[in-house]
Structure formats: C-alpha cells, structure tokens
Amino acid sequence: MIFSIFFRKRLLSVLLLGFSSGLPIALTLSTLQAWYTQAGVPIIAIGALSLVGIPYVWKFLWAPLIDRFALPWGGRRRGWIALMQIGLAISIFILAQLNPAETPLLMGMMAIVIAFLSATQDIAIDAYRTDILLPEERGVAIASYIFTYRMAVLISGGFALLIADWWGFRITYEIMAALMLLSVITTYFSPEIRSEIKAPQNMIAAIVDPIKEFFQRDSVWLLIIFILLYKAGDALALSLMSNFLLKGLGFSLTQVGIAFKTVGLFATIFGAFVGGGLLARLNIFRALMYFGLAQAFSNLMFVVLAMVGKDYSVMLAAMFIESFCSGMSTAALFAFLTGQCDIRYSAVQYASFSAIASVGRTVLGPVAAVMVANLGWVNFYAWSFVLCFPGLIVLGFMRNKVRLYAEVVQ
C-alpha cells in the first residue's frame, strides 16, 4: 500500500504538498527563535514569538472564503494554494532582509504575515486532501503527508540552522524563499478534486451550514475539548525547545540542527508510518489513547535531560523517543480530524479542528517562559507530562458518545 503513493496521482500530490505546508512553520517558530537567541534578544520576547502562530488559531474565520470561491485558475482548491505559495516566497525573502537585534518588533510583524499566508495555504491544502482522498487511502496518505511535512521542517528547521551557522540567517531565509516558490510546480500538476463536490451557494451558507452541521452532532463539546487538549502537553514541551537546548544546556547550533532536527525528523516519520500501519488494526479510539499515553511518557525524557545537563547521547535518546511517539499520535489525530469533515464544508471544518488543536502551540509560549523563569527546566518538563492527561481523560468519556471516525458525507 505504501508504494501505491507513487502510482496514484492524488496520493503523490498529497505527499508533495506536505512539503509546502511544513516549510514555513519553523521559519516563524523554532528557527526564528534561534535567530533571536543568537542576537541576544531577552527570553520573554522570545517566548512571545509563539504568538506569531495566532493566525493558525483564527484561520477558521476566513476559511469560508476558501469553500465559497474558486480563483480563476486551479479550481476550488489549487488556485488558493498557488497564490499563498507565491505570497509566502515573497514574504520570507523580505524577512531575510531584517535583523532581530535592530528591529525585533518589525520582524515579529513580518512573521505574523508569513503565518497568515501559511495558515491560509493550510486551509486550502487540508481541504484539498480531505476532498480528494478515498477513505481507504487516508492512513497511507496521512503518513506520507507527515513524511514530507517533517522533511520540510528538517530543511527549514535543522538544515537551516546548519546554513545559518556557516553563512548567516539572511542567506538561510533567502534559500527558504526560493524553495517555497518551487512548490508552485507541485500545485500546478496536482489533479483537481471530484466535480460532484459542490461549493456553497452564498457566503451565508458557507459560514452557517458547516457550523450548523457540526453542532448537530452528539456530544460536540466533548469533541471540541478533546481536540483542544490532546496535544497540549506536547505543545508545552516543545514551545521553548530551541532556547532550552541552546541557552539552557549550551549545545551549539550545529549540534541542535543535527540531533534535535535530524534525529527528531526521522523518528517522527518512523512513528507516523508505524502509527499509520497500526491504524489499520486498531480502531481510532484505541489508537488515540495508546499513542497519547506514549506521547505523555516520552515527555519525561526531557526531565531526564534537564537533570543530566549537556549530555549529547541523552539528548539524542530524548529527541528520538519523543519524536517517535509524537509521530504516532499526530498520525492518529490527523486521521481522526479528516474523518470528522463533511466534504461539502471541508475547508471550514478542518480549519476549525486544526485551529482548535493549535491553540496550545500558540498560547503556551509566553506561559512556558514564565514557568521556566520561576520553576526551572526540570519542573517545567514535569508539568508538560501532567498536561498530557486531561485530553486522554476526555477521550475516555468520548468512547461511546462521539462519532470517532466519520465516513465521508456525500
């Protein structure tokens, strides 16, 4: 089934679009955080950089536009994807010309623009993936999407740090802008979605109908709380990771780039494919529960690392275990969210689900900075372990009440 990706055009398109979706994320989060750290910006300001992700939380507000309107080229989804890719390439190039030591606020504002364009691209890509995949293709397609998404994170996160260590951050971001522009080629050759999927007739329908359909479901508030909390512990643990490894433990940019980003990437990919394979044998409830528990206990590796200090082998082990478990839990969550979408409103509904899931990643940065300043790194990561369990408790209540794996609504 895995090799079918290369023989089915829609699966290959999903595979390649994962790269375009993943590339901007690190450029406004971990890599930008490393740039600020190297420039000597205070940790409170670095923690505030997580607020750059606000567009990912609020993207459902403009998602109805993606459902309602098709651009002149590319049909219902691809035109939007291509437009955002071009805008991202231009914005990342502009960001490369700035300096955090001189204009940290301006760079933060530019990063918000990039996050807005990236979030809009994600709306269109997620809707495209939901619309074009058959139910039996979701497991392998999502695993492959995570593969290229994480490969992009390796390039814009880990490999970008290596380039920055050699040639500086300006050249690094200019290279990333060029790669973003090349993603338009993938969009151009991707197949169009099925013609029988009709767009809402007006903006009122595009806004009201998906909300109405969603809130008619059983135990909908449990579903919302679960999506909000499921990855919260993981989000807290990763919110200041670059600062923890660079300043807290004293590792170099090259060490962090090789160990944290590279080892973490391949462990995440491995975990995603293992998780995707197990999804075929486990029902979605068990997959979410088992993988969520694994994610929780993997966070304890950061407690060990914080206690041991600057030990490269312990860092490698911590990165591998946490990333492997994160890959499994992410694969299960993506499959779950995709199954929850009504394809008539996939842009709005998936955007809403993913926005809810990204709240922790966005708002926990400032909280994390305050926690580290007052509790230290060991207690901080202990709390990231504790924060994994509320979502799993909610999942237990959902077992017999929520449609855990919805079929595509025709």
- Indicate the range of 110-119, 285-294, 334-343 predicted with least confidence: 334-343
Nearest-CA neighbor of 30 among 8, 7, 11, 53?
A: 53
Are 199 and 343 a contacting pair, CB within 8 Å? Answer: no
In 3-state terms, what secondary structure has residue 239? coil
pLDDT at 4 over 90: no
Question: pTM score, two decimals?
Answer: 0.76
Closest to 59 in 3D by CA, of 332, 340, 337, 359: 359
Banded pLDDT at 354 (limits 50, 70, 90): confident
The predicted pLDDT at position 210 comes to 87
Query: Does residue 405 surpass a pLDDT of 70?
Result: no
Superfamily of structural domain 2-398: MFS general substrate transporter like domains (1.20.1250.20)
pLDDT at 406 over 50: no
**Tens digit of each residue's pLDDT (9 = 90 or more) over 192-245:** 876 666 777 788 888 888 888 888 887 788 889 999 999 888 888 888 888 888
More confident residue, 245 or 7: 245
State residue 407's pLDDT score.
45
The pLDDT assigned to 175 comes to 95
| 34 C-beta neighbours (distance < 10 Å), count | 25
- Decide if pLDDT at 378 tops 80: yes
Provide the pLDDT for residue 40. 84
Dihedral angle over CA of 272, 277, 281, 285, nearest 10 = 20
Encode pLDDT of 58-94 as tens digits. 888 999 999 888 888 877 789 999 999 999 999 999 9
Residues composing the chain: 410
Residue 48 CB burial class (10 angstroms; 0-12, 13-18, ≥19): middle
Neighbours of 234 (CB within 10 A): 25
Buried b or exposed e, range 139-148, using 16+ CB within 10 angstroms: bbbbbbbbbb
pLDDT at 403: 52
pLDDT-derived band at 320, boundaries 50, 70, 90:
very high
pLDDT tops 60 at residue 2? no
- What per-residue confidence (pLDDT) applies to 410? 35
Higher pLDDT, 125 or 102: 125
Is a pLDDT exceeding 50 seen at residue 409?
A: no
Residues 6+ apart with CB under 8 A from 233: 295, 296, 299, 384, 385, 386, 387, 388, 389, 391
Give, in order, the Cα–Cα distances in Å from 78 to each of 38, 165, 224. 38, 36, 29
Residue 265 confidence (pLDDT) above 70: yes
Question: What's the Cα-to-Cα distance from 229 to each of 7, 216, 217, 257, 292, rounded to whole Å?
Answer: 37, 22, 20, 29, 11
pLDDT score at 74:
75
Q: pLDDT band at 269, cuts 50/70/90?
A: confident
Instruction: Report pLDDT digits (tens) over 114-151.
Output: 999 999 999 999 999 888 877 677 777 888 888 898 78
Give the other-Cβ count within 10 Å of 392's Cβ: 18
Phi-psi region of 75 (alpha: psi -120 to 50; beta: other; left: phi over 0): left
The yes-or-no verdict on residue 393 having pLDDT over 70 is yes
The residue whose two tokens read 């090259």 is 254
Q: Rounded mean pLDDT of the chain?
A: 85
Query: Is residue 243 within 8 Å of residue 43, measured between CB atoms?
Result: yes
Whole-angstrom CA distances from 225 to 35, 100, 179, 253, 359 are 34, 37, 37, 37, 11
Residue listed under structure tokens 């206690």: 307
Percentage, residues of the chain above pLDDT 90: 31
Predicted pLDDT at 76: 79
Contact predicate 220/353, CB 8 Å: no
Region 310-326 average pLDDT: 91
What are the residue ranges of helices labelled H in 74-189? 75-96, 104-132, 138-153, 160-167, 169-189
**Rounded mean pLDDT of 162-181?**
93
**The dihedral formed by the CA atoms of 314, 319, 325 and 330, expressed in degrees to the nearest 10:** 170
Domain boundaries, the chain: 2-398
Token output for 182: 């090349």
